[in-house]
Structure 1
Amino acid sequence: MHLQLLHYFQCIARQGNFTKAALELHITQPALSKQMARLENEMGAELFVRTGRGIKLTEAGSRLLFHSERILADWEMAAQSIKDLGLSGRGYVRLAMYPTFMWYILPQFLPGFVQSNASIDFEIEQGLNETIMDWVIGHHMEAGIVTAPVSHPQLKQIPLLVEEFGLLMHTSHPWASRNFIPFEDLHQQPLILSTLNRWYESFILPLFKQLAIQPEVRLVVHQYDVIKELVRAELGVGLVPINAYQMWKKTERELGQELTIIPTHPTLQRQFVWIERHDRTRSTACHLFLEYMNQYFNEG
């Protein structure tokens, strides 16, 4: 049996749908169905039951899913162990990261790590929490960096960094000289947000309601760099990570003359965590990267 068949099988089980799995795997649905027919023939049992909206695993399918996770984990560990022996002379790190971590935090320390560890190669993808968790659980990535909270029986998490937010505004704004902005002052203030997703609904929105604040959410733009330009045009104040502002200042010399960022009170923040499978032994290269990253954050 080819390991690729087990990867295909796990993807279908995770998606619950052949069409979605085929899209993720970048193959056609007929080709995927043919491969699963081959797997069922090798197993001597039906693995799926077709339903109106997708598929469900049979008892045989559920047992194969349980064992396939162990098989693929052992294979990944064996392959990584051989790499770590230095047979190829190089290490390899495969990670997935939350977008803002990848854009505004990773560039602060990755060059230093690469310069100090020239024999380690990287493959880094970006994604949101659910996608990254799926990649790590499915062995597509060795580990991931996501926003807390994370809860899954197959994953363990290690706290990394607390990301703080502030209000980005034009230097001509009446608030620009303040040390902090009380949340109460956001009542009916034109506000530019990056998202109305789970983090907004579970944290920011309840805080607004608790303080009886009704902000005027004028624009929702899913890119902080676009928010920066809208604020530069004096169309409102934007809620952005302070790390993003610090990165912009390094690349745009004149930025500090046009834009400033002021912390809020209470502080708005979220926690980044490292996630990996409980049953997977961390590769030497990945361990070195995690240790370097933690040292950088602790010293900062």
Structure 2
Amino acid sequence: MIRNGDAAMQLQLLEYFQCIARLGNFTKAAQELHIAQPALSKQMARLENEIGTELFIRTGRGIKLTEAGNRLLFHSERILADWEMASRSIKDLGLSGRGYVRLAMYPTFVWYMLPQFLPEFVSCNESIDLEIEQGLSEAVLDWVLGHHMEAGIVTASVSHPQLRELPLHIEEFGLLIPSSHPWSCRDLVPLVELHQQPLILSTLNRWYESFILPLFKQLAIQPQVRLVVHQYDVIKELVRANLGVALIPANAYRMWQRTETSIGSELTLVPIDPPLQRQLLWIERHDRTRSDACQLFLDYMTAYLNTER
């Protein structure tokens, strides 16, 4: 237990410790921290003395953490994150007149949903600063659990005992086809008709592997998967070039309609049967009190998403 010393200095020691643990090398850590290596070694010796045990095992190639070091690393991440969150919460109380929110979101939400309501939110809430990181659900989960982000948006339930989940929005998928395609005038396309059709898939997450592909198998559908790419913007151009059809989020098509005046004459999004949907969820730690700024953002976003249903 750290028993004495200036609190700010103790936090700095933990930051130094985390950097060394991450890089596994005192020299590299000293370079990144812009301090002399002997001074860094002295600070870590002080930390070990105050805790009362060794934190590092020196090896020929660098360092490894002892069991005590690994335990301190776990707690130090929480301590530093709590300190940062506490300082942000104080700002939310009005001591600085500003609020600060750090959020992690699934990429398609950042690309196709966020731009539809974020500009107005920022204009209406000039005292709130936002930091938004994008990542797949696994990364968002890790960031929220590790206190790096106040909350996150994921595409499926994570069912984690430390997290609270709030349903946000049901994301609908449709079939993107060229406007010249024979199906473009139809109100609905049964998925079974995708059998032997040239299909373009996204590698963006495991949702295709865990849901769509098993559904194809259940319906005895074997599309000709001609192309597998990452981003839906690329898929859009491939469909525009008549290289296949694609299952995409309806939110993406709506965003393209807002930004591309010619999209409606070139590409069509047709509903499919059975419908493909996925639930978007807001996740946050049970032991976190939602900041006022974060609550404002959540309320604003929820109100917007309710209009999209």
TM-score by length of 1: 0.84
SS in 1 for 2:275: strand
Aligned residue number for residue 130 of structure 1: 138
Matched, 1:177 2:185: yes
Which of 267, 270, 273 is 1:265 aligned to? 273
Change (3 A) 1:99 1:78: same
Aligned residue number for residue 231 of structure 1: 239
Deviation at 1:256, TM superposition (A): 0.6
- Counterpart code for 1:281: T
Q: Are the counterparts in 1 of residues 13 and 47 from structure 2 also a CA contact under 8 Å?
A: no
Q: Are the counterparts in 2 of residues 40 and 47 from structure 1 also a CA contact under 8 Å?
A: no
Aligned residue number for residue 91 of structure 1: 99
- Return 5+ residue gaps in structure 1 as ranges: none
Change (3 A) 1:133 1:252: same
Deviation at 1:18, TM superposition (A): 3.9
Aligned residue number for residue 292 of structure 2: 284
- Counterpart code for 1:214: Q
Deviation at 1:65, TM superposition (A): 4.3
SS in 1 for 2:248: strand
Trace 1:160-171 onto structure 2 (pairs within 5 A): 160-171=168-179
Percent sequence identity is 71
Trace 1:1-300 onto structure 2 (pairs within 5 A): 1-3=9-11, 5-6=13-14, 18=24, 27=32, 38-39=43-44, 41-44=46-49, 45-47=53-55, 58-65=66-73, 67-195=75-203, 197-300=205-308
Deviation at 1:187, TM superposition (A): 0.8
Deviation at 1:99, TM superposition (A): 0.8
Q: Are the counterparts in 1 of residues 24 and 64 from structure 2 also a CA contact under 8 Å?
A: no
Deviation at 1:166, TM superposition (A): 0.9
- Counterpart code for 1:299: T
User: What per-residue deviation string (whole Å, max 9, x for no partner) do you get for residues 122-178 of structure 1?
Assistant: 111211122222222223222211211213333222111111111100111111111
Comparing 2-11 with 156-165, greater Cα deviation is found at: 2-11
- Superposition RMSD on alpha carbons, in Å? 3.2
- Counterpart code for 1:288: L
Change (3 A) 1:79 1:210: same
- Please give the alpha-carbon distance, in whole angstroms, between the structure 1 residues aligned to 2:167 and 2:215: 24
Comparing 193-202 with 216-225, greater Cα deviation is found at: 193-202
SS in 1 for 2:133: strand
User: What per-residue deviation string (whole Å, max 9, x for no partner) do you get for residues 41-98 of structure 1?
Assistant: 51342346699xx998644235424543552354134212321132222111211211
Deviation at 1:216, TM superposition (A): 0.7
- Return 5+ residue gaps in structure 2 as ranges: 1-8
SS in 1 for 2:246: strand
Deviation at 1:199, TM superposition (A): 1.1
- Please give the alpha-carbon distance, in whole angstroms, between the structure 2 residues aligned to 1:82 and 1:197: 37
- Counterpart code for 1:193: L
Change (3 A) 1:117 1:41: same
Comparing 213-222 with 58-67, greater Cα deviation is found at: 58-67
Q: Are the counterparts in 1 of residues 78 and 146 from structure 2 also a CA contact under 8 Å?
A: no
Tell me which structure has the larger Cα radius of gyration.
2
- Please give the alpha-carbon distance, in whole angstroms, between the structure 1 residues aligned to 2:91 and 2:40: 30
Change (3 A) 1:280 1:102: same
- Please give the alpha-carbon distance, in whole angstroms, between the structure 1 residues aligned to 2:257 and 2:295: 31
Give the number of aligned pairs.
293
- Counterpart code for 1:42: L
- Please give the alpha-carbon distance, in whole angstroms, between the structure 1 residues aligned to 2:12 and 2:167: 33
Q: Are the counterparts in 2 of residues 147 and 273 from structure 1 also a CA contact under 8 Å?
A: yes
- Please give the alpha-carbon distance, in whole angstroms, between the structure 2 residues aligned to 1:8 and 1:65: 11
- Please give the alpha-carbon distance, in whole angstroms, between the structure 2 residues aligned to 1:156 and 1:36: 41
